[in-house]
Amino acid sequence: MLQLILGGARSGKSRLAEKLAAESALAVIYIATSQPLDGEMNERVRHHRERRPGHWALVEEPLELARVLRDNAGAETFLLVDCLTLWLTNLLMLEDPQRLDAERDALLACLAELPGEIVFVSNETGMGVVPLGELTRRYVDEAGWLHQALAERCQRVVLTVAGLPLTLKGTAL
């Protein structure tokens, strides 16, 4: 089953994904896309690490998400990807503008063939004002298009607000 959990900052989306992983009775692999490049991000990463069970495997991959999913997906495995918008940001910051298209296309192409449970966590950024600046507008556009494409392919899509899940597609939580 493919699931997409969307929400704003501190909405409870990661906590919900971790709860689903813990309740799955499958081997969990946490796929982290962040690159902790400053003190604030280091603190966020530390907080996430402390919350996760020690027996969960961890794969840190900021760019090649499709490859990591193919390498780690299995019938008895629960992959938790946190988060897609950090992955998108990493790709947007590269010098090669074609890399984002290639990695996004690879991700979308591999989803149908992946076994097991996969949950994607991502920030819903399209519900506010139109941001100033070309890069920020491109980020919001790319995130929105990615979310739409993933939502088409996922069996369940959930929006979290104030820690509460609202099921947009699939069976309710």
Binding site for GTP, residues? 7-14, 32-34, 49-52, 60, 82
Helices 39-51 and 13-23: crossing angle in degrees, nearest 10, is 30
| Orientation angle between helical segments 134-153 and 98-110, nearest 10 degrees | 10
Is 98 exposed, middle or buried (CB count within 10 Å of its CB: 0-12, 13-18, 19+)? exposed
Tell me the H-state helices in the chain.
Answer: 13-23, 39-51, 65-72, 84-92, 98-110, 134-153
The three-class DSSP label of residue 66 is helix
Q: Does the annotation count 48 as an active-site position?
A: yes
Rounded-to-integer distance, Cα 170 and Cα 25, Å? 21
Catalytic residue, chosen from 47, 48, 55, 147, is 48
Burial of 21 per CB tally in 10 Å (0-12, 13-18, 19+) = buried
Give the residue ranges of the annotated binding site. 7-14, 32-34, 49-52, 60, 82
Q: What share of the chain is helix, strand, coil (3-state, %, to 5)?
A: 45, 25, 30
Please give the positions annotated as active site: 48
